[in-house]
Amino acid sequence: MREYITLLDFFRRHRHRYILGVVWLLAVDFLQLLIPRLLGFFTDQLLATPVNMGQLRHTLYLILAIAVGIAFFRYLWRLYIMGAARILEKYLRDLLFKHLQHLPPSFYLRNKTGELMAHLTNDINAIRNSLGLSIVLLVDAIFLTAMAVFFMFTTVDYRLALLALIPLPLLALSFQRLGQNLYNRFLRVQESFGSLTETAQENLNALRLVKAFALEDVEKTRFAKTAATYMDSNFSLYRIWGLYNPLILFFGIISFIIVVIFGGSLVIEGEISIGDFVAFNGYLALLAWPMMAAGWVINFAQRGRASMQRINTLLKEEKGEPARDPFKAWPASPGDDLHFQNITFRYAGAKNNSLTDLTFSIPGGKLTAITGQIGSGKSTVFYLLLRFFSPQQGDILLGSYPLNRFPLDMWRSRVGYLPQDGFIFADTIAANISFAHVEATQAEIEEAARLAAVHREIMAFPGGYEAQVGERGVTLSGGQQQRISLARALMGRPPFLLLDDPFSAVDVPTEEKIIANLRSMKDTTIVISSHRAQTLKRADKIIVLDKGRLAAAGTHTELLEQREESYIRLCRQQLWQESL
């Protein structure tokens, strides 16, 4: 099936596991096929006069030996086939997770975290079953059916076999009709599971906010609706799946009635022995399992197809834009300026541009502040510098080199970034700071913390740098979270620092201390997004944005002398807030 082309490389590397597993499975099936014949032989021996006890014991020992062989080979096929399915599960989960790591931020604007979690859990489990247990069931369904029918025709009257098999084509037709419905309904189940996961994750992340506004009942109702949708989609699925076993049982009973009526008459007439009749019923009973297995195969296969289709859709998502004519070595000089040249950018689905014909320069080795009202495009400038997105028009240059010629890892390894919502991992403080530099020494971690003016507060925690901070930094204040995130950005003293509103949760004396520390980092190009007057006054250059356009640029003194209206308004607002 074309959905599984993605996994061809895996099957090439692990084909020996599947081949050996199928060999052991066929051995089990072959041994199972011997049992009805032996039981028929045993029955005829019991009815014989006189009874040959030696032959009876020999037959019993043979049945016991076959049972031991079945148990041994069953262990082997489980080890190989189900083991291969578990390896596949890991392979596919790794493949998908690695792919997700390289997708651009625009992808995450369109897709919810809960839906992606559903892909990494439920969908992959469905694929594992379709390429593990369903392979076992498929081999059973084909081999046991073929061999059971063969023995029914060759060891007993062929007329009895023909009559007993009349219901099978009707059963196959029923399965074919139900299969497509099963596929479509399982797609809806997976989609509703993604919504359920997203709702649960969102609610748990915002639990303190929910409690603060006493919205527990509202959230319970919202979750209950999502859970009800998931339940309804599962009920819809099982209305189809629930027909499989009853159909198998119904057609099996019809076959059994035919055998009892016609086979019984053959026994009475002496055309077949009672042992043959017992053997035939044994093979007919063996057919029940392949028929049930066929139903399970259709179930697992359709689920696997639906999930593989969803996974393939994700894997087809294009990764971040690759470097054009990439550099093999770093060509720029330490003091090179960054230039925005006629940049125009609009987010996917937005009606208006976030940036329009924007041109300015960021001096190398200096501290540049970008300011403007909310929605003026400050964070978008950072996203373009980090190459999370590419502008629709214009170029960004480092010195004379276009930024899109630098391979992403080459560029980003030289950038320290602090987003507005600095994320804190549920780990130690040291691990949070050294997140991008796992090989960092304790001295280097402490140096970054001192630069971020948070070292003393860390040492006041029980355990110091080894203190656990809880999920999303729940044990830290907002200011501590922000400065630990800042320390993470400062690790390794990167030559470029992009700090998006880094002082929103700190007081003025702490801000002054941090800025002084940043200024001590020679040859580091620092870009700070801020609207705080204390930060703007200390910048070597200020860039003022207004609705995605350049309003003004210069130092604090120059902008005041120019009587730049938007900048003066920002300063007055900030001074008014500080006075309050």
- Note whether 112 and 194 are within 8 A (CB): yes
- pLDDT score of 580 more than 60: no
Residue 106 CA to its chain's centroid (Å) = 17
> For residue 208, what pLDDT is reported?
65
User: What are the helix (H) ranges across 316-342?
Assistant: none
Residue of 206, 208, 235 whose CA lies nearest to 223: 206
pLDDT digits (tens, 9 = 90+) for 205-220: 667 667 666 777 888 8
Residues in the chain: 580
* 3-state secondary structure (DSSP) of residue 541: strand
pLDDT digits (tens, 9 = 90+) for 298-318: 777 777 888 888 888 888 888
Cα–Cα distance for residue pair 523/109, rounded to 1 Å = 35
> For residue 525, what pLDDT is reported?
94
pLDDT digits (tens, 9 = 90+) for 360-378: 999 999 999 999 888 889 9
The encoded tokens of residue 6 equal 């993605």
Per DSSP, 141 falls in state: I
Residue 551 CA to its chain's centroid (Å) = 43
- Note whether 83 and 20 are within 8 A (CB): no
Long-range CB contact pairs, 223-232, < 8 A, 24+: 223/199, 226/192, 226/195, 226/196, 226/199, 227/196, 229/192, 229/195, 229/196, 230/189, 230/192, 230/193, 230/195, 230/196, 232/192
Cα–Cα distance for residue pair 220/205, rounded to 1 Å = 15
Buried-state track 78-114, b at ≥16 Cβ within 10 A, e below 16: bebbbebbebbbebbbebbeeebeebbebbeeebbeb
Q: Pairing state of beta strands 525-529 and 367-372?
A: parallel
Within 8 A by CB and 6+ apart from 122, the residues are 190, 193, 307
Domains annotated on the chain, with CATH: 10-193+236-315 (1.20.1560.10), 333-414+495-580 (3.40.50.300), 423-492 (3.40.50.300)
Cα R_g (the chain), whole angstroms = 35
> For residue 252, which amino acid is it?
G
Cα–Cα distance for residue pair 233/239, rounded to 1 Å = 10
Residues β-bridged to residue 542: 369, 554
Residue of 539, 498, 492 whose CA lies nearest to 519: 539
Per DSSP, 404 falls in state: G
Q: Pairing state of beta strands 549-554 and 401-402?
A: unpaired
Cα–Cα distance for residue pair 387/404, rounded to 1 Å = 8
* 3-state secondary structure (DSSP) of residue 446: helix
> For residue 449, what pLDDT is reported?
93
> For residue 224, what pLDDT is reported?
85
Average pLDDT, the chain: 82
The more confident residue out of 204 and 456 is: 456
pLDDT digits (tens, 9 = 90+) for 165-178: 776 666 666 666 66
